Amino acid sequence: MKKRVGVFVCDCGTNIASVVDTEKVAETAKKIPGVAFATTYKYMCSDPGQELLRTAIQEHKLEQVVVASCSPRMHEKTFRKAVEAGGINGYLFEMVNIREQDSWVHHDRGQATQKAIDLVRMAVSKVLHNKPLQISSIPVRKKAMVIGGGIAGMQAALDIAEAGHQVVLVEKEASIGGKMTQLDKTFPTMDCAA
Ligand code: SF4
């Protein structure tokens, strides 16, 4: 297992840094086994922030990357691309949310900082077990199989068919209808269930 993780802790201006002691997070990260480099930056997603990441990967020969910043919904793709531009497979990267799940929801600086450290420690541990992945495309046939011909299965099959796709409905019993066919009448209309 290669062990040269880079940890990048974002201030997000004051969004994170006003609650989380980002310097302390980076300094503590340096002591985590496997971490070869750790730093803070004011805005990691900015062009200079991404450039810092790319340069550090090459200068410090990093092989895995952890970015502690905002939600992956915001910038996971941004950092994955930056990591790839630095020469590392994009899946040897983990993102830690110390903004929405930490600085935005906590007020105690000491506890919020400790939480950020714990989150970074977990991400470092995980990224060391990540494997490089390659994105591939596989052709699919637009055809569906629904298993179970009860009411839900029949409705699902009808919905798919009405959307224009071929459906195969599979039922292990001799007839479709499921539990519904065992009932006599159904409330409130008292219609015949079958
Ligand atoms: S990476 Fe996220 S947390 Fe950091 S500056 Fe950009 S938006 Fe803020």
C-alpha 11/C-alpha 70 separation (Å) is 10
pLDDT of res. 7 = 98
pLDDT of res. 18 = 97
**Distance from residue 59's CA to the centre of ligand 1 (Å):** 23
Spell out the residues 6+ positions from residue 138 whose beta carbon is closer than 8 angstroms to its own. Answer: none
**Distance from residue 36's CA to the centre of ligand 1 (Å):** 23
pLDDT of res. 191 = 87
Cβ 45 under 6 angstroms from ligand 1: yes
Q: Which residues of the chain have pLDDT under 70?
A: 1-2
Domain residue ranges of the chain, discontinuous segments joined by +: 5-127, 143-192
Mutate to test the pocket of ligand 1, among 7, 8, 14, 15 (most ligand atoms within 8 A of CB): 15
Tokens of 62: 């990093």
Nearest Cα to 72, choosing from 53, 95, 99?
95
pLDDT of res. 139 = 95
Helix (H) or strand (E) holding 147: strand 143-147
Cβ 98 under 6 angstroms from ligand 1: no
Backbone angles phi, psi at 159, to 5 degrees: -60, -45
**Distance from residue 44's CA to the centre of ligand 1 (Å):** 6
**Distance from residue 39's CA to the centre of ligand 1 (Å):** 15
* Sign for the pseudo-dihedral over CA of 47, 49, 53, 55: positive
Q: Which CATH number fits domain 5-127: 2.60.40, 1.10.3470, 3.30.390, 3.40.50?
A: 3.40.50
Tokens of 153: 């299965």
C-alpha 194/C-alpha 181 separation (Å) is 5
CB burial of 71-85 (b: ≥16 within 10 Å; e: otherwise) equals eeebbbebbbebbbe
**pTM of the predicted model, to two decimals?**
0.78
Cβ 99 under 6 angstroms from ligand 1: yes
Spell out the residues 6+ positions from residue 106 whose beta carbon is closer than 8 angstroms to its own. Answer: 19, 112, 115
